[in-house]
Structure 1
Amino acid sequence: AKGNPNEIGAASVEYLQVFGYTAYAYMWALMARAALGKEAQDAFYASKLGTARFYFARLLPRIHSLSASVKAGSESLYLLDAAQF
């Protein structure tokens, strides 16, 4: 970003999305830990663990494509500004 201030703006949205997915992963891990061992006693806990597994298997992997977008830099994004539509 020191050499090119556009880098910050180009990466900001995807960076915040990665942070959000990571924060949710932490919260789901805490909820799953609290539910472990209780799933046989109450369907609520079984559902909580199922939802946590869904999050980690289906939603959290999105951070890989978002991270690739952050690392891609700003050049291709700012080429759009010069395009004639």
Structure 2
Amino acid sequence: NLNDLTQWVMDQSASNANEVGAASVEYLMVFGYTALAYMWAKMAVVALTHADDTSGFYKAKVGTARFYMKRLLPRYIGMSAAVKGGADPLYELDDEMFETA
């Protein structure tokens, strides 16, 4: 979960300052997916109390929330794995390796 991932980054960065920068993009993506999941869950709770609505608005909210949870939110798993890949792979290649002749 996000708390565990945050703690992991903090623990790793205590001995290697490069870990924060290396984790930043994927960590923020995980944070964003988590925040959106929270918001969709809140919307779904409200929408479920409007079962008598005939416009389809609330039904669409519940359907979209389900879609998000089942199809988009699982992306956090790969992003979390990338964060835990650490900083070392980013620093294995020297600048000189990218120079052209």
TM-score by length of structure 2 reads 0.76
Offset, 1:40: 4.5
| Unaligned segments of structure 1, at least 5 residues | none
The list of structure 1 runs, each at least 4 consecutive aligned residues, that deviate by more than 6 angstroms after superposition, is none
Q: CA offset at residue 39 of structure 1?
A: 4.0
Give the superposition deviation at 1:77: 1.4
Aligned position for 1:11: 23
Identify unmatched segments of 5+ residues in structure 2: 1-12
TM-score normalised to structure 1 length: 0.89
For 2:7, the equivalent position in structure 1 comes to: none
- Number of aligned residues: 85
Contact between 1:40 and 1:46, CA under 8 Å: does it hold in 2? no
Percentage of identical aligned residues: 59
Matched residue SS, 1:73: coil
Whole-Å separation in 2 of the counterparts to 1:67 and 1:16: 10
